[in-house]
Amino acid sequence: MRRLSAGGWVAVITTVLVIASSLTAYGAYHDIYGNIDQETIDTDAFGDRPSRVEGALNIMLVGSDVRSGANAEYGGDDIEGERPDTLVIAHISPRTEGATLVNLPRDSLVDLPSCEATDDKPGVRAHTGMIGEAMSSGGVQCLWKTVEQLTGVHIDHFVSVDFTGFKGMINALGGVEMCIPEPISDPKAHLELDAGQQVLDGEQSLGYVRSRYGQGDRSDLSRIKRQQDFMGAMLRKATSSEILASPANLHDFLGSVTDSITTDDELTVNTMADIAITMRETKMSDIRFITVPNGLHPANPARVAWTEPDASQLFAAIAADKDLSGSDDEDGEPDGDSSEDDTATVEPATVSVEVINGTGIAGLAGETADGLSARGFQVVGAANPQGTVPEQTTVYYGTGHQNHAQTLADELATATTAEDPTLGSTVKLVISNDWNGLNQAGEVPESVAEESKTAEKQTNACS
């Protein structure tokens, strides 16, 4: 039985997003897009959903263990249906000009919501179980709902890849160079490798990223760390001049995996092009890999529990589109010359806020004003609305003050921003019925910053 895990799946999908911008001809996008299977997801059935930050994008990446069609050669007669062999949230942020990929370990024991039965899935009642049960019992739609409810992160799209797509991409790249610090002999992964620097082909790479019992402490968590190193090596190879030099090679490269990709039907060719444009200038140092903070589950040491409050702080930071690199200057602006960027956040003390309570909950404006004052904002008033209340909690800002609005929005669990030319320097927070209080992100947990990796600097035990 062969399983492809996080490094492989995410490298496939992220690499496509990073280099797709090289196919500038609109017709080339359509040609490749036509090979992709799509699935309709009824997100309206989820009920209340987390709010999204304008411009940011969150994609649920699924590594499918389906064994039908071209994947039948990987056996697994005991495998019923389809499950997420790996699960990742890819957060793409034009504001921070980077991408963060958060691994959700498949051994995570979590509180699963209920999901209705479908034509081919039995559905699932609310209970505590392995995170992958959501997909096997309710399909991708149930998994999507589960991830949103567990993390509080608004998911915009999903992308799923199977075994065949992974091997095809590696072979189209001409293999991926990896350092193998010690010989590997893993019969379960059908993998035999000598020690040293070497180029792995598609079949060897498939074995390497799923190998668990032939390396390290045999845990899924240590395997994730190796997979992240593989992902960085794959991204560096895919974005090298050797691959990017030929449009024809790029077209063949992307075409080699699209036969094995499934997405939601809202992930259109135009959306894919927008993602590619967003990531066109992304450097390897701006692609960050994180595993949700975790430890042994107290009720079952063979399973994983997400560590609190670090996990919630991480997800809150992702949901608010915060910079997870920890590289912000003390004045609140990112490193680099951003003095002319009107979306760069500023110090809360420079932000003047008026709070408007549009929910009908008595005292909410005053309570919110007190909370914002405690975080350093200059609250100039709190009142009830005079006119129509927006469907979403919104921070309105006058011309030239988008950065002030964004600084405030970053502190709210649910909020969007919108320009109102009639306003001056004071931003106006209008609280609507989706209000979920101030976010709890605060500072990004130190454990996240310490454990995270970038695609630019991956561990190389051979050097």
How far apart CA 42 and CA 44 sit, in angstroms, is 5
pLDDT value at residue 12 = 52
The verdict on residue 131 lying in a domain is yes
The verdict on residue 436 lying in a domain is no
On the CB side of 378, CA atoms within 13 Å amount to 10
Domain shared by 257 and 131, yes or no: yes
Domain shared by 352 and 317, yes or no: no
Domain shared by 216 and 70, yes or no: yes
Domain shared by 41 and 109, yes or no: yes
- Residue 199, beta-bridge partner list: 177
pLDDT value at residue 188 = 80
Which three-class secondary structure state does DSSP give residue 180?
strand
- Running DSSP on this structure, what letter comes out for residue 422? T
Domain shared by 219 and 367, yes or no: no
The CATH number of whichever domain residue 397 belongs to comes to 3.30.70
Strands 127-130 and 300-306, bridge-based pairing: unpaired
Domain shared by 297 and 377, yes or no: no
What's the pTM value of the predicted model, to 2 decimals? 0.68
The CATH number of whichever domain residue 216 belongs to comes to 3.40.630.190
The verdict on residue 333 lying in a domain is no
pLDDT value at residue 334 = 40
Please report, as a single letter, which amino acid is at residue 80. Answer: E
- The residue whose two tokens read 């080339």 is 28
How far apart CA 27 and CA 193 sit, in angstroms, is 42
The verdict on residue 343 lying in a domain is no
The verdict on residue 339 lying in a domain is no
Domain shared by 63 and 120, yes or no: yes
Domain shared by 321 and 353, yes or no: no
Q: List per-residue pLDDT tens for the chain, 463 residues long.
A: 333 333 444 445 555 555 554 444 455 566 666 778 899 999 999 988 998 888 889 999 887 655 444 444 444 444 445 566 778 999 988 777 778 889 898 889 999 999 999 888 999 999 999 998 999 899 999 999 999 999 999 999 998 876 666 777 788 788 899 999 889 998 887 889 999 999 999 889 888 887 877 777 666 677 777 877 887 788 777 766 565 566 666 666 667 667 677 889 998 877 776 776 666 667 777 778 888 999 989 999 889 999 988 888 889 889 888 877 655 443 334 444 433 344 566 888 899 999 999 998 888 999 999 889 888 899 999 888 888 889 899 999 999 999 999 889 888 877 889 999 999 999 999 999 888 888 765 556 666 666 666 666 555 557 6
The verdict on residue 223 lying in a domain is yes
Domain that holds residue 65: 6-326+449-454
On the CB side of 306, CA atoms within 13 Å amount to 24
Alpha helices (H) along 303-445: 310-319, 364-374, 402-409
88 with 112: CB under 8 angstroms? no
Q: Please give the structure tokens belonging to residue 399.
A: 């011309």
How many other CB atoms are there within 10 angstroms of residue 248's CB atom? 8
Please report, as a single letter, which amino acid is at residue 270. Answer: N
Domain shared by 252 and 353, yes or no: no
Domain shared by 101 and 36, yes or no: yes
The verdict on residue 46 lying in a domain is yes
Helix (H) or strand (E) holding 209: helix 202-210
267 with 39: CB under 8 angstroms? no
- Residue 429, beta-bridge partner list: 355, 395
The verdict on residue 81 lying in a domain is yes
Q: How many domains does the chain have?
A: 2
Domain shared by 319 and 355, yes or no: no
Domain shared by 73 and 208, yes or no: yes
How far apart CA 306 and CA 395 sit, in angstroms, is 32
